[in-house]
Amino acid sequence: MEPRDASRLLVLDRVTRSQAHTAFRRLVDFLNPGDLLVVNRSRVIPARLAARKVPGGGMVEVLLLEKLDQDKWKALVGGQGLSVGKRLQLENGITATVEKDLGGAQRLLAFERPIDIDLARLGNVPLPPYIHSPLGDPERYQTVYARESGSAAAPTAGLHFTPRLMDEVRAKGVRFAELILHVGLDTFAPVIEEDPRLHAIHTEWAELTEKAAHSVNETQAVGGRVIAVGTTSVRVLESAAALAPQGVAPFRGRTSLFILPGYQFRVVDAVLTNFHLPRSTLLMLVSAFAGRELILETYRAAISEGYRFYSFGDAMLIV
């Protein structure tokens, strides 16, 4: 839906259990001076590449998941016979060697040289499988504040913001803080275990700078709300909170925090998020924040009201 902030917004109050239905462009009406919106500035890389087997020439699709070193990437590789030692060649002649079988279709690829600068020309932005048509503008799958390349999928709660709306938010006395979590496709892997605690949670690289940590702690000290934009921001903030006796500490590294119902939130006061797939870790996170029964009740209402789900869907603010 265009413009970005024309999507719908469901506002859920955890205390009163009430719902308000509005447009995302009215978000500012539900914010207070002194609040802090914490956004993930990670940018989706054009990670879908075409390659050929060497020798043989058979076509292979490569989806880069995570950069592990200057020339090494964790990737999904579609095709047969991709055992350790197999070589692949990209359209520009750069070759990669399968260095390790990571299970299933995942491989560790070692390229002959760093390929970062080639991705803009050779790659395409990977879209979720339920989006069947290419985007007219690839930037539509990036947030307007995306800066640091590294994600295999967009932190979609932020897709609704426009520069104008962000200016309106600031004019009300609400600040923004930025963090990074590079989203991996494992984020969307369904939980298949009957006991979710047995699910192997993905790990993702994240950073909360000293400046952002100060903004969070300052907001809490004066009674403002820390509002996480997206489940990715929730995970970084709560990971950083685990490192401090109160508030948050600067954090840089990998997080494997898996938030399930029963989790005690340390720093996040409100969450701005989209509507998530069943049996996903994302749905379990928002259920932990608002309560499973309340989330199920709210999702039923959203379906009845015709809200759109998933990446390019509508949004929900849980306060």
pLDDT tens string 200-228: 666 789 999 999 999 999 999 999 999 99
**Cα torsion at 298, 303, 309, 314 (round to 10°)?**
-70
Assess whether pLDDT exceeds 90 at residue 190.
no
pLDDT at site 20: 97
Longest pairwise C-alpha distance within the chain: 65
Rg (CA), the chain: 20
Mean per-residue pLDDT for 139-144?
Answer: 90
pLDDT at site 185: 66
Domains, the chain, in order of start with CATH, read: 4-44+136-318 (3.40.1780.10), 48-122 (2.40.10.240)
For residue 194, the tally of other CB atoms under 10 A from its CB is: 6
**pTM of the complete model beyond 0.75:** yes
Mean per-residue pLDDT for 113-133?
Answer: 78
Q: In the structure, what pLDDT confidence band is assigned to residue 188 with cuts at 50, 70 and 90? A: low
Q: 167, 178, 148, 165: which is closest to 36 by C-alpha? A: 178
pLDDT at site 1: 57
Q: 282, 250, 248, 290: which is closest to 267 by C-alpha? A: 248
pLDDT at site 31: 98
